[in-house]
A and B are shown apart, each in its own frame.
Chain A
């Protein structure tokens, strides 16, 4: 019979038999990583309507997070401050700065400043700041060194798996409640042991069941 296929094609079946499964694995792993927030979300740094610098306020000036995000200790949301909070100082400081025009305008008209959301959970995931702050989870654990960010960017993937890592084994991420907003504090370096902390009335047992976060 005529040879319509070159000799090398004899190896095709073997190649296919081996290649296809490998490809499958590659695809799964590819999706696992490249479609994950680790890859897609971390580092997200949109430009904000007002060039507000956390590095300056929280970093250099060492303002406490809670001056602006004042509801963090008793509410689910760490509320983004109203314009009036900015104006408390900026009525006097840099009162005519070009950069702050939008703030002043907002203060006059009552129009909100359209900040761009960075730390964004799906709406079916219910995160509560007070619960975490109360348990002594530092701001830095989820938000990174905001005090060193000129413009805030997403430091952690905020994916379910990432949440669970901590919920399943919280101890390494705990610190004295007094140190929650201390960005520089490192529980490991400080050799902090939650079980020894006299200010802790109860042991931390974060929920790992669905209804803990989904309802």
Chain B
């Protein structure tokens, strides 16, 4: 049985012993029950061991991937040939930590529902047949007059080169771009003001950030890089003038909005008006901005006035105005104009020349499909049949095209309708190269040979031209020209570092032409009546492409805390108007009702959910759920694409919502949102902080000397390493990367919706989200990552009858899974409720759900837990042990500061987690613990937690100070 998996993984053998470890641990843990002869096991050594491979030892390789054009450099850990963990590559300019998607991507590699074989008209065929077909394809295409190729956002030099080849071979062929996470509106907006053939991204640490329906922290753009900069900009040590202040205008509560200093909840259709109003005030402030009419009420908005004043008061070129993809092109256009006027071009907004220019949009393609001029339609790595707005009615037209070819990781909705479906290689299986918006190129190198016969995007493009080159050669060919001589040495270094040190896309400062703008910027005189639908990219599954990842499905939404579902999210007042109960106010928060959301004759039935902070008369619908052919996990939730229109894909007015009698249970992972005035998340404004640096002490409920008395002997921690961890709430944005990273590192199972509903999630590190549900459209969100805090006087320890959880000499609250008999007393006595219990055999359930794949992903350094066992965070003790052994074998046994990084720390884009040895006064963590903002949650219990928090600082605009 191990044989298949070995051959499946290609030339490298995956680690046999470790592979067996992962699956066998459950068996093994039975052995403690009775000391009988251990099971009969084989050792299958390599016949020919690869030179660089040491059985059981992990190695890291650099690669790169992109989501909707956002390129991220990655470091992938591989154990015995199995990729087991993905993290950001620090060498890569666009990387700080990593996204939840990068973290989860390692699991998708092993997804048993990936497309495994080419399919012709619904029939699986042999790879050779597909190859044969592709060979003959060029003759069929001819001059390409009938050829249309739909590409995703693929900023790859090699792809660009190959596209030129395709152009050369088929001069009449047309290229179209479709990507559910793409930036069509932004491009169109840029085009309106004369910016073309460019990519752009934020740069530096802007001081004032005005996000108009933009979500740069969550779902749009180079999120990790931006988050890093954003967090840096909130550093308490910055001078007030340089400390950033985030203004957000949006209909739904986005992750960005939840971190705003000032947030205004407005209908998506009115965001543009506010931007126009801002333009007006900036013009008054002396900026060169075209006159645009804006509605009176928007002009009078206190918020906009204050924002304008703030923008003007800051250093020129130090601010930024961001417009979200949900907004139409003309709003983006104005966004560029304002940034240009504020002098942000080339400063906080960096432009680089890249990309083929003549690329059509999906609507253009549909026009051609209608008139039947498309004979061969190639769809690469996107899923328009599911994602395209319903009124394009893409699916039907797609079937009318004589020959359709789909290249995809899954045989998804599009793949099913295509004449030919060709399996696409996972990025961890492919050679390639990607150029970040900022300009740097990186080489994408595979960690395993393709698990199934498949083609990478560039290999596929090559096939279109009739070439059969391998990805490796294609990429090298692209870059060979870049340097003269010594290529192989450089190539090796590129692979090692994960970045190419030549051929940067040149940055430039475009000029904007504002003439067309006023015309384009016309407001519909009549304001839309009724409810407005806001379609948003989901914080977990984005546009649906990640729908089949159980990790992401179970990752609670940062704002609503909903897992495994999407819902019709409305504000409390709107809920009242609609006539549905406010589920937040009943004891069973999770029980809500189904509502019929209907617009333009289309109706979707889905559960309603109340979320304070949502704009009035707005119904927020997140995309990417309820997939028909996305896999068993992607089915969850409800497909809302049928309500969208191509003309305005993200905003639709005139909707009706009618409650039904049908109830529905939504797996909300944090039913209680209020802090009940307990000093859990402590915060202050920057002003108050400067006046009173020790403000955290004000929150204490019990005076120190009273707490300090212990009834029993002081625990003694004498080992040379004393581990501790601090979490800076001032930089945490609540994205959830740490949760997924922890899940990948520590073999944490998913429990599925049924158990999530019962409140049995297994996440070792969760992100607590608090707000006062009382407010309606205004909401202040507070995030607090919470994992085991490793109390020095841990209450969980003395109640365990078998001593399964006891302290180690280094201050860790150890958890011996194989000793646990599952009385659950420790969980009861844990005031932070961070212990997780295997109520069922979740591991085995996961195996059943996911096949052997999940076992391939599991980290061989961490025990796989058995049913009936308690588990929890131990500061990634496997990493500590590794470092300690290394230090002991090769030195004096002292682990230098920074050698051990916990999984959550590595993943955090905001860099808010610090881990280290407090015995060493110079360690980073020792310093953070001396920060005046440092405090322990529930300090009055005298548990002396090793995890402490740095209080949050807000930076409100005095002009907008409430009351």
CA distance A117 to B24 in the complex (A): 14
Contact B34 A214 (CB under 8 A): no
Spot the interface stretch: A19-27, A56-64, A122-130.
Answer: A122-130
Contact B807 A82 (CB under 8 A): no
Contact B48 A131 (CB under 8 A): no
A11 within 8 A of B: no
On whether A215 and B48 interact (CB within 8 A), knowing A36-B35, A40-B36, A76-B56, the answer reads no
Chain A residues 119 to 149 lying within 8 A of chain B, measured CB to CB, are 120, 122-124, 126, 128, 130-131, 134-135
Spot the interface stretch: B131-139, B199-207, B813-821, B841-849.
Answer: B813-821
Chain B residues 23 to 60 lying within 8 A of chain A, measured CB to CB, are 24-25, 28-29, 31-32, 34-38, 40-49, 54-57
Contact A209 B807 (CB under 8 A): yes
CA distance A79 to B32 in the complex (A): 26
On whether A211 and B45 interact (CB within 8 A), knowing A124-B818, A135-B888, the answer reads no
Contact A123 B862 (CB under 8 A): no
B806 within 8 A of A: yes
B961 within 8 A of A: no
Contact A214 B54 (CB under 8 A): no
Of B44, B862, B878, most A-chain CB atoms within 10 Å:
B44
On whether A122 and B49 interact (CB within 8 A), knowing A77-B55, A117-B42, the answer reads no
Chain B residues 864 to 889 lying within 8 A of chain A, measured CB to CB, are 864, 874, 877-878, 881, 885, 888-889
CA distance A171 to B57 in the complex (A): 29
Chain A residues 77 to 92 lying within 8 A of chain B, measured CB to CB, are 77, 79-84
Kindly report which residue of chain A lies nearest to residue B815, judged by CB atoms.
A210
Contact A131 B28 (CB under 8 A): no
Partner of B49, one of A41, A84, A128: A84
Partner of B861, one of A83, A110, A126, A159: A126
CA distance A131 to B885 in the complex (A): 6
B687 within 8 A of A: no
Point out the residues of chain B lying under 8 angstroms from A111, CB to CB.
47
CA distance A122 to B863 in the complex (A): 10
B298 within 8 A of A: no
Contact B45 A82 (CB under 8 A): yes
Partner of B885, one of A35, A37, A130, A209: A130
B892 within 8 A of A: yes
Interface residues on B, range: 35 or more
Contact B49 A82 (CB under 8 A): yes
CA distance A124 to B31 in the complex (A): 11
What distance in Å separates the Cβ of A166 from its nearest Cβ neighbour in chain B?
16
Contact A215 B46 (CB under 8 A): no
Partner of B43, one of A44, A80, A84, A201: A80
Contact B49 A35 (CB under 8 A): no
CA distance A209 to B42 in the complex (A): 30
Point out the residues of chain B lying under 8 angstroms from A112, CB to CB.
13, 16, 44-47
Contact A74 B889 (CB under 8 A): yes
What distance in Å separates the Cβ of B15 from its nearest Cβ neighbour in chain A?
9
Point out the residues of chain B lying under 8 angstroms from A2, CB to CB.
none
Contact B47 A110 (CB under 8 A): yes
B893 within 8 A of A: yes
Point out the residues of chain A lying under 8 angstroms from B807, CB to CB.
209
B812 within 8 A of A: yes
Point out the residues of chain B lying under 8 angstroms from A211, CB to CB.
808, 812, 814, 816, 874, 877, 881
What distance in Å separates the Cβ of A39 from its nearest Cβ neighbour in chain B?
9
CA distance A117 to B54 in the complex (A): 19
Contact B37 A41 (CB under 8 A): yes
CA distance A83 to B342 in the complex (A): 69
Partner of B892, one of A73, A126, A201: A201
CA distance A204 to B461 in the complex (A): 60
Chain A residues 165 to 215 lying within 8 A of chain B, measured CB to CB, are 201-202, 207, 209-212, 214-215
Contact B862 A215 (CB under 8 A): yes
Contact A210 B816 (CB under 8 A): yes
What distance in Å separates the Cβ of A124 from its nearest Cβ neighbour in chain B?
4
On whether A115 and B881 interact (CB within 8 A), knowing A124-B25, A210-B806, the answer reads no
On whether A79 and B42 interact (CB within 8 A), knowing A109-B47, A210-B806, the answer reads no
A53 within 8 A of B: no
A75 within 8 A of B: yes
Give the interface SS of chain B, mostly helix, strand, loop or mixed: loop
What distance in Å separates the Cβ of B352 from its nearest Cβ neighbour in chain A?
44
On whether A126 and B881 interact (CB within 8 A), knowing A134-B889, A215-B874, the answer reads yes
Contact A40 B35 (CB under 8 A): yes
Point out the residues of chain B lying under 8 angstroms from A128, CB to CB.
885
CA distance A44 to B807 in the complex (A): 36
CA distance A117 to B819 in the complex (A): 25
Of A81, A109, A131, A214, most B-chain CB atoms within 10 Å:
A214
Contact A210 B55 (CB under 8 A): no
B17 within 8 A of A: yes
What distance in Å separates the Cβ of A202 from its nearest Cβ neighbour in chain B?
5
A51 within 8 A of B: no
A100 within 8 A of B: no
Kindly report which residue of chain B lies nearest to residue A131, judged by CB atoms.
B885
What distance in Å separates the Cβ of B641 from its nearest Cβ neighbour in chain A?
45
Contact B36 A79 (CB under 8 A): no
Partner of B818, one of A44, A79, A212, A214: A214
Contact A202 B41 (CB under 8 A): no
Contact B888 A214 (CB under 8 A): no
Contact B877 A215 (CB under 8 A): yes
Point out the residues of chain B lying under 8 angstroms from A109, CB to CB.
47
B891 within 8 A of A: yes
Contact A123 B28 (CB under 8 A): yes
B21 within 8 A of A: yes
B236 within 8 A of A: no
Kindly report which residue of chain B lies nearest to residue A78, judged by CB atoms.
B55
Point out the residues of chain B lying under 8 angstroms from A134, CB to CB.
888-889
Kindly report which residue of chain A lies nearest to residue B805, judged by CB atoms.
A210
Kindly report which residue of chain B lies nearest to residue A206, judged by CB atoms.
B888
Contact A77 B56 (CB under 8 A): yes
Partner of B54, one of A74, A84, A202: A74
Kindly report which residue of chain A lies nearest to residue B894, judged by CB atoms.
A202
B290 within 8 A of A: no
Partner of A215, one of B41, B806, B878: B878
Contact B47 A83 (CB under 8 A): yes
CA distance A214 to B803 in the complex (A): 14
Contact A40 B885 (CB under 8 A): no
What distance in Å separates the Cβ of B457 from its nearest Cβ neighbour in chain A?
32
Kindly report which residue of chain B lies nearest to residue A135, judged by CB atoms.
B888
A13 within 8 A of B: no
B809 within 8 A of A: yes
Kindly report which residue of chain B lies nearest to residue A105, judged by CB atoms.
B47
On whether A124 and B45 interact (CB within 8 A), knowing A40-B36, A202-B892, A211-B814, the answer reads no
Kindly report which residue of chain B lies nearest to residue A130, judged by CB atoms.
B889
Point out the residues of chain B lying under 8 angstroms from A73, CB to CB.
889
Contact B885 A120 (CB under 8 A): no
CA distance A36 to B9 in the complex (A): 39
On whether A131 and B888 interact (CB within 8 A), knowing A77-B17, A215-B863, the answer reads yes
CA distance A214 to B869 in the complex (A): 14
A6 within 8 A of B: no
Q: A122-B28, A215-B881 are in contact. List 7 more A-B contacts (CB 8 A).
A: A35-B35, A77-B56, A82-B49, A112-B44, A128-B885, A201-B891, A209-B808
Which residues of B are interface residues toward A (Cβ below 8 A)? 13, 16-17, 20-21, 24-25, 28-29, 31-32, 34-38, 40-49, 54-57, 806-809, 812, 814-819, 861-864, 874, 877-878, 881, 885, 888-889, 891-893
Can you identify 23 A-B contacts, CB atoms within 8 angstroms? A44-B37, A75-B56, A75-B57, A80-B43, A83-B46, A84-B49, A109-B47, A110-B47, A112-B44, A112-B47, A114-B42, A116-B41, A117-B41, A122-B31, A130-B889, A131-B885, A131-B888, A134-B888, A159-B35, A202-B892, A209-B809, A210-B814, A211-B881
Top-4 shortest CB links A-B: A134-B889, A112-B44, A210-B816, A209-B808
Which residues of A are interface residues toward B (Cβ below 8 A)? 35-37, 40-41, 44, 46, 71, 73-77, 79-84, 106-107, 109-117, 120, 122-124, 126, 128, 130-131, 134-135, 159, 201-202, 207, 209-212, 214-215
